Structures are given as C-alpha cells and as structure tokens.
Amino acid sequence: MSSEVKVLKKVTGNIQKHPKETEDSNALTSRPVILDKAMYNEKIRAEIALNSISDAVICTDINGMVNYLNTAAEKITGWPRQDAYGLPSHQVFHIVNGTTRKTPPSPVASVLKTNQPVGLAADTLLIKRDGTEAAIEDSSSPIHNWNGELTGVVIVFHDVSAARSMAMKMAHLAQHDFLTNLPNRVLLNDRIAQAIESAKRNHTKIALLFLDLDNFKHINDSLGHPTGDKLLKLVTTSLVASVRGNDTVSRQGGDEFIILLSDIKNEADAALTANKVLELLTLPHIISNAQLYITTSIGISIYPDDGLDAEILIQNADTAMYHAKDLGRNNYQFFKAEMNLRAVERQVTEVNLYAALDKHQFILHYQPKFNVLSKEMIGVEALVRWHHDEWGVVMPDKFIAIAEDTGLIIPIGKWVLRAACQQIKHWASLGLKDITVAVNISALEFTQKNFIADVQQILLETKVNAHQLELEITESVLMRDAKSSAAILSQLKEMGLVLVVDDFGTGYSSLSYLRKFPIDVLKIDRSFVNEIGTTAEDGIIVSAIINMANSLKLKVIAEGVENQQHLDFLVSHDCTEAQGYFFSHPLTALEFENTYIN
C-alpha cells in the first residue's frame, strides 16, 4: 500500500487527544490547538496526494458506508463523492465475476469481519454507475484509529481493462494466424489432443486433411503478395464453409492448411469433406474484377489407423498430400504405409535434382510433328530428360512436379530454352534451316517477371529467328489470370514467337477469352485423342475443338496419335498436324539427324 494511503488511514481515524496532553492547564488551552492544526495540515496533504495518483481510493466507516472517494475513484466508478457519501460500499463499488457474472463476497465485509487485508479474484469487473464495465485489480485493508481500533476499510483499485485486453489479444495472436485469423499449429495441436481424447471416450475416429494449394506460388509471384493474401482469405472462407461447427480449419503457413474432423465414423466422412473442398475451390475467386482459379491437393490421415498423436498424424497426412500432387493435383489421397517409402524416394530425388544442373545431367529429346496429309516432318517438340549418373535416364513424370515445388523448374526451363535454340542453330548449319522447335513453358516460368526478358536474351545470344521457336503454355496456366496472360502473350507475339495453347480442352477457357489471346495453335490433349474409336462419343470433343480452331483461323495439332484409326479420324475432320508414337517416338538429337538430315 502507498504511503499516501497509510497517511489517509491515519488521519481518517477518530482524532483523540493523548492522555499525557492533560498534564496541566496550559496544555489544555494551547497544545490541542497546535495538535489539531498539525493533523489538519497532514490530512490536507494526504488528500492532495491521493487526488493526484492514478489509483482509485474509496474509504468506508465501521458500518461499510462510503465516507471518502478520491478523484480517480470518482472517474472510474462514475460516482461523484457528494452522491456516494453515506451509501453502502457495494452500491458504489459494485463488482461481479467476469466469467460467471455472479457477485463475489464483499471485500469490505470481509475486512470488517477479519480485520485483515483481502484481494479480489483476477477476473473481477466493476459495474460503473452508468452500467458500463471495467476490469479492475483491487486490494482492501482495514483502517485503524490512534488506539489501533478498527474504524473502517480502504479500497485501492485501478482499471486494467486496456492491459487485460492487450493480454487477451497477445494470447489470441499466439494461437491464431495473423492473416486469416484461423488457429495456427500451436492451437491445432491442442485441439488434436482434445479430439483424440474425445475419440477414445466415444469410440470414434478423427481425420486430418493436409491441404496445399496447387501453384499458389505462381499467383503470388506474378500478381504480388497483396493479391495472394486476398486469395488466401477467400480460400479460408471456402474451407470454413466446407466443415462442421465443431471441426477446425488451421493455417500452417504459406499456402498450407489443415482441417481437423472430430468424432467421425469412418473414412467416408473424411472423403465427403475432401470432395466438398475440391468442389468449392475450383469455383472462380474474384479479386479486383479478375477471376482467379486455384485447386488443391489433399492428403488424409485417420486416427487411430495412421497415428496416435498429432505429430505422426500431421506427418502422414503431409506424405499423402505429396502423393496427391504426384498423381496430377486437384485430388485427395488417404495415407498408406507404402507412401513413406515414396516420400523418402522423393526426398532423395529432390537432393539429386539440385545437383543435376551443375553436373550438366539434363538432355533434350525431340519428338517430330507431321503434316497428316503429306506425312512431311514439319517440326519437333523438345522434351527434357534427366540423365543421372547412377539411375540412367529419368523421365519428366518422375521429377518435373518436384522441380515445380522447389522452384528448380525456373533454371531448368531456362536451360531447355537455350538448349533448344542452340539445337535450331546447329541443325541450320547442317542444312535444316526452317524447322520449328516447340518448348513447354511451366506455370512458374510464365509468371516470372523476367520471363520475357530471358526469352529475348536467349534469342539474341543464339541468333535464332523467333518464328522458329514455339512456346507451349497450358490452357489452365493461361486462365489463372486471363488479363495478365493476354498481356504477356502480346509481348511474346510482338517478338515473332509462335504461341501454342497446350492440353486444350482440359482447362477453363471460354470462347470469349480464347479470342483475346494472340495465339497461333491449339494443341488437342492426348486424352481426347485416345478416346477416338473407344467411346460412344467417338471423338466428339476432338471434332468440336478442330471446328472451333478452324472458325478462329487457328492451326490445330493433335498429340498422342498412336494408330491408323486416330490418324484417319483426324484427316476426315480437317486436322492438319499431329504427333505421337504412330509417327515417331522422341529421338535424341543424333537419332533425329540420322533420320531426317543425313
């Protein structure tokens, strides 16, 4: 307790003369006057001091009636001292428990009963005169007179609302993601532990869905972090809408989320939620009048089948998520024990992939393209292979997805562009001057800010005519941000490059968007070509694409042509160019030269 409050306790007691002060008549007539004046000055000094401090002070008499408030007490309680004097302390100092809203035992009554100081519970609220509330911290102490007799109680308290609010905010931030306000991994681990205990009691299961947004980094890099943040918030809204009220959606960081499904019966419940998530996320997300498309890969682990604690369940769900990515993305996979072996293999592949460029282990194979009427070879598509010292030739399906996830696809793609242009120059020196080479451009490459400059620099370095280089960009990549894609394509077109929409028919294109892109060629996805002669539709999608391309005066090329039936269908429907095993497998540069040049 402050010295000012101690003085107040002293001067507010009954002021009585000490017995020794009656020894003679001079003392009776003079000393009490001097004593009263000293006590008066002391009391004035105490009141000035108490009115200048930030702590509120309320005093009561022996009956618990208010007989003093300092300025801070008037301000906090809303009671002017003239209105508060003589009222019961509980009326002026009206407190409740912040959690239960019940009135706790009166601190004044406790002090008067025990003659000992008491404190308030931590979660105490003061109800002000106008009904508003303030969180307070308090101590109450007895007031004694000159003879040590109990004469009342002094309550000292202060408003801790701001400090408590800040503490609550800090506690919330410690357990929630700052961007989406979703529970973070700290709170998620706690909720998983609670869900496991509930599952044990109720003989149920829990599921963890580990989500990673497909190609989110490309959007973030090309459109900027503010757009990426807005997209994450929209994704959050979709995820929360996909689950029950007692489930938890958590952001782990970046573009990774985990959904905790509590008290489920079986895997079918988890699959139902996963399908709902996939469906909602494929809908267009509108940001600044632009339509953005995003998909996700989901890995699922089940308690107790796939782990008995949060760490193992999250790890196994993560492993299953990578398996979903390897299978083409935009799908979900349940964890299986054999996936751990694939996870180890993936890690080994990633480590070796980092060294592949420095060791010059990448090579290009070339698959010829043909005019379907004349059977003339009209160009090639460059296809990257990884020639590992120990593993031999590694096909793209084994490493491209990993290269995209790690960002290595950017330097690899740049190497492919340069190597393809160098090959064009070399073949020209051998007499094959007009051949075109098509190069696949990944989503991450296409959205890099320096992509156009890199292409231009490579053309200048190799002195290759731009019309001999074809850039193949998938339909889904172009449609992630149609306006931005149109701008990039326009700049590439101005350079003289041939622009090809790869895997056409598998994405989100509409005719209106397609007409805005300055493209030259539509490439029909091999999955549609493979349906020719095997389904009731019998190539209806292929014929529709060919007709649309012809109406737009675009070239069309079919990939994956493997038999005479495929070829006959394409010829009868006016498709002029094709490639596939029916014509030629991919060839090394030397094999190509021996076949088509020498």
Under 8 Å between Cβ of 193 and 187: no
Task: Read off the DSSP letter of residue 266.
Answer: S
Whole-number pLDDT of residue 39 = 62
How high is the pLDDT of residue 128? 92
| Residue 203 region by backbone torsions, left for phi larger than 0, else alpha for psi between -120 and 50, else beta | left
Q: What is the pLDDT of residues 416-457, one digit of tens each?
A: 999 999 999 999 999 998 899 999 999 889 988 899 999 999
Specify the pTM: 0.56
Residues whose CB falls within 8 Å of the CB of residue 2, separated by 6 or more in sequence, listed in order:
53, 55, 156
Which pLDDT score, from 0 to 100, does residue 347 have?
Answer: 85
Tell me the CATH architecture of domain 3-165. Answer: 2-Layer Sandwich (3.30)
Q: What is the mean pLDDT of each run of 10 residues along the chain (598 residues)?
A: 43 38 39 55 69 83 93 91 92 89 89 89 87 86 88 89 77 79 89 92 93 83 82 91 90 91 90 92 83 88 92 92 86 87 83 92 96 92 95 91 89 96 95 92 89 95 95 85 87 95 68 79 88 72 86 89 91 91 94 90
- Which pLDDT does position 582 carry in this prediction? 93
Dist. CA 372–CA 583, nearest whole Å? 10
Task: Find, among 299, 344, 349, the residue nearest to 323 by Cα.
Answer: 299
Summarised one tens digit per residue, pLDDT across range 58-114 is 999 999 999 999 998 999 999 998 999 999 999 999 999 888 888 888 899 999 999
Of the CATH numbers 2.30.30.100, 3.30.230.10, 3.30.1330.60, 3.20.20.450, which one belongs to the domain with range 348-593? Answer: 3.20.20.450
Q: 176-337 maps to which CATH number?
A: 3.30.70.270
| Domain coordinates in residue numbering, the chain | 3-165, 176-337, 348-593
Strands of the sheet containing 256-264, edge to edge, are 248-253, 256-264, 205-214, 295-303, 332-334
